[in-house]
Amino acid sequence: MTISQRPPTDGQTDQAGTTDAGTEKQKPGNPFQRSFPIHPSILSQATRLASRTTTKVDDLALCALQDPILVLELLKLANGTFFSAGRPPLTTASGAILRLGEDELLKVLTTLNERPNFTEPAVSQMFEKHRSRSRRAGILARMLAEVVAKVLSEDCHTAGLFSFTGELLATAHLGQTYVKLCETNSPAAVLCRLAQDHRFDVEPMGLSYLQKHGIPESLLFAIRRDGKPKSPDRAPMKPICFAAVEMVDAFDHNKWEKLAPGKQLAPKSALRFLRLTESQYTRLYERASEYLFQDKLQQERLSMDALGQTAVKDKDEDFDFIIQAADTEPAVDSGSGLEDDLLSLLDPAPTPPTSASPSTSSGTSIDPRTLSDSYSIRADSPSKTAPRVERTLPLVAPPPLRTPAGNTFVSNVTEELDKAATSEELLRSILSILTDSGPFEKTALIVVSKDRKNAVVVAARGPNISCGQILTLSDPLSPLAQCFSKVQSFGNKSGEESPWGSKAFALSPVDADHETPVALYADCGTQGSLTFEARRIFRAVVDILNQKLPTIPGGIPVEV
């Protein structure tokens, strides 16, 4: 950045009557005079980046977008009378940084560093909770916009950041009163009590706060329930931002699986208005899962560090991993490994081992008639000597992974695929490779029954799993019953979708020549977490497998 402009004189005020840097004395009776503290680590990183002459504006904006309060302050100042000079209001962090210039930006960041934080731990904790919700809503809004309206992705990110401004304002203005309400009431009851007892209507108050601090209506309409865009091309912003909030709330209230592909969305779900195709929605759900679970792991790691339980190295992070999660097809960076670093930094506290799921019965002695009638598995079936299709094109290589080890593993898998003469041989090799030299503890080939009420393990590798296990599918919409892809990286409790109660597992249908659905399953045990490189490895293996299986003869291996 080389732009430099004359800063306003000391004590100059903005539209809200507060000083530009937010160092005024707050008026206890007026919530609109409240100034919020900036997240210390984000502010420190932004200051370091701004002080470097080689820093790109996009990199600095990327850092600022991790804190809605910092973006609010930048837009407030950039849209003020001195800097706007009659020009259209700005809606993005990068635009605000360019308009302010390097010198003024450094001055603002330095002054914001003097802004005091909350003195009461409970209030500070509640504020950080809503700051996190705002940050994640911004990321998810950008993620959705990349598919629905890519040209609006940066504006959607900014608008999504301000989705929970009312809650931030309630925390700062009411303090312990608000905290106690949240501790003893449901979210809906909290909103009702605030409106009745304190005359504080969260959503309108948040919107008014943003408006008084210079945020233009071209952003506010997207988070206003009755908001309407001034131009039709910005209309998609509203359902995108409301869908992002819906996803954050579902994740935080342990209802994430209700948004899974194949599940029926609520009639008033904002996700319905996006009109995504099945493949688009599945991809978005998986990428959102990656980001949300990764962020959860990082926040837990930081909480442990704050308690003195872990030692975390102070990295000069550039926050690329957050925006990469929003890209439909992220750029390959084989040398980064930052996503995996975040996962490995968290060492979950040991918990008692999880027993087998109550819906699972084990054993290797099964009535052949049951296998024949329910799963179309017959011992006397003639071997299939001809492939289903003739290969006319070479296999399409999967996208390169992020680490050399991951790419090497996929190359080894491809070599094994080329050696296999039958699909039975191929599937057995895949099961062994994923456990012997891959990142998984156990793998299984599972056949779903004709009525989708049961499944049987026909081949397996790893501990605490055996061929012949019958799995009762009590939920007809479960990933296994529907035989659609499902990946879970981390969980606080046993995974309900995993037949063996694993917190981290991957499941995907395979294109095997069989009358009923066949799925490939892999997990990292009951305690481990699934790294994002492991997720990519699993997807790459399944992609190659489903290209190869129709071109070679054979069926499925049955090791019962």
CA torsion sign for 289, 294, 295, 301 is positive
93-116 burial string, b = 16+ CB within 10 Å, else e? bbbbbbbbbbebbbbbbeebeebe
Give the model's pLDDT for residue 450.
87
pLDDT, one tens digit per residue, over 372-414 is 888 888 776 677 777 777 665 566 666 677 778 888 888 888 8
Give the model's pLDDT for residue 394.
60
Q: Concatenate the DSSP letters of all residues of 175-241 into one string.
A: THHHHHHHHHS-HHHHHHHHHHHH---HHHHHHHHHHHTT--HHHHGGG-TT---SSGGGTTHHHHH
Give the model's pLDDT for residue 237.
96
Give the model's pLDDT for residue 494.
65
CATH class entry, domain 121-345:
mainly alpha
428-463 burial string, b = 16+ CB within 10 Å, else e? bbbbbbbbeebbbbbbbbbbbbeebebbbbbbbbbe
71-91 burial string, b = 16+ CB within 10 Å, else e? bbbbbbbbbbebbeeeeeebb
Residue segments in the chain with a per-residue pLDDT below the cut of 70: 1-28, 301-366, 380-381, 390-399, 490-495
pLDDT, one tens digit per residue, over 436-457 is 888 888 999 999 998 888 899 9
Give the model's pLDDT for residue 46.
92
- Identify which of 345, 339, 514, 544 has the alpha carbon closest to the alpha carbon of residue 434: 544
Give the model's pLDDT for residue 393.
53
CATH ID of 360-551, from 3.30.450.40, 3.40.50.300, 3.40.50.1000, 3.40.640.10: 3.30.450.40
- Identify which of 508, 514, 521, 462 has the alpha carbon closest to the alpha carbon of residue 482: 508
Give the model's pLDDT for residue 217.
95
Give the model's pLDDT for residue 321.
39
The tokens of 5 are what? 């402009």
* Maximum pairwise Cα distance, the chain: 90
> By percentage, how much of the chain surpasses pLDDT 90?
40
Give the model's pLDDT for residue 81.
86
pLDDT, one tens digit per residue, over 170-179 is 999 999 999 9
- Identify which of 485, 550, 538, 483 has the alpha carbon closest to the alpha carbon of residue 511: 550
The domain locations on the chain are: 31-112, 121-345, 360-551
Give the model's pLDDT for residue 498.
82
CA atoms within 13 A on the CB side of 382: 3
Q: What predicted TM-score, i.e. pTM, was given to this entire model?
A: 0.59
Give the model's pLDDT for residue 287.
86
